[in-house]
Amino acid sequence: MRQELITPEIEDRLLGFMAHEARELNGSVMASGAMPDHVHLLATIPPSVSISNFVKQLKGSSSRFVTRDLGLPFEWQAGYGVFTIDESDVPGVKDYVLNQKARHKSGQLIP
């Protein structure tokens, strides 16, 4: 069950840390957004890194960051969702990720 652990106080630092970790893996985060119980990332992953290892590294390191550096108990739920998109879909997906708070608030989760 998801817990609402992503507070406004840690959101920016958490997302910034995840973007930093993606760069450490030679990937990048093109857009990110957080809700109290999950995040959405629009990311590029290099062919040399498996999707599962990329996600494992981001989840593990960000959990340690929040727990150790921010002093808050934090852990991600098991599992994740991943979608592969065409380059032509990047603008729409980026908009979706950046505006997920408004979508959740309005109840219109799927554009």
Please indicate, yes or no, if residue 35 is contained in any of the structural domains: yes
User: Would you give the DSSP letter of residue 49?
Assistant: S
Please indicate, yes or no, if residue 17 is contained in any of the structural domains: yes
Mapped onto helix, strand or coil, the DSSP state of residue 40 is: strand
Please indicate, yes or no, if residue 3 is contained in any of the structural domains: no
- pTM listed for this prediction: 0.88
Q: What is the CA 25 to chain-centroid distance, rounded?
A: 15
Q: How far apart are CA 21 and CA 66, in angstroms?
A: 13
Q: Where are the alpha helices (DSSP H) in the chain?
A: 8-24, 51-64, 90-98, 100-106
Predicted local distance difference test score (pLDDT) of residue 50: 98
Please indicate, yes or no, if residue 95 is contained in any of the structural domains: yes
**How do residues 36-77 score in pLDDT, each as one tens digit?**
999 999 999 999 999 999 999 999 999 999 999 999 999 999
Residue 95 has which token pair? 């908009």
Predicted local distance difference test score (pLDDT) of residue 105: 67
Q: How far apart are CA 11 and CA 33, in angstroms?
A: 9
Domain that residue 40 falls in: 8-106
How many folded domains does the chain comprise? 1
Please indicate, yes or no, if residue 39 is contained in any of the structural domains: yes
Name the residue among 8, 12, 28 with its Cα closest to residue 20.
28
Least confident of 1-5, 17-21, 23-27, 35-39: 1-5
Predicted local distance difference test score (pLDDT) of residue 2: 77
- Cα distances (Å, whole numbers) of residue 67 to 39, 72, 82: 17, 5, 25
Task: Give the CATH number, domain containing residue 102.
Answer: 3.30.70.1290
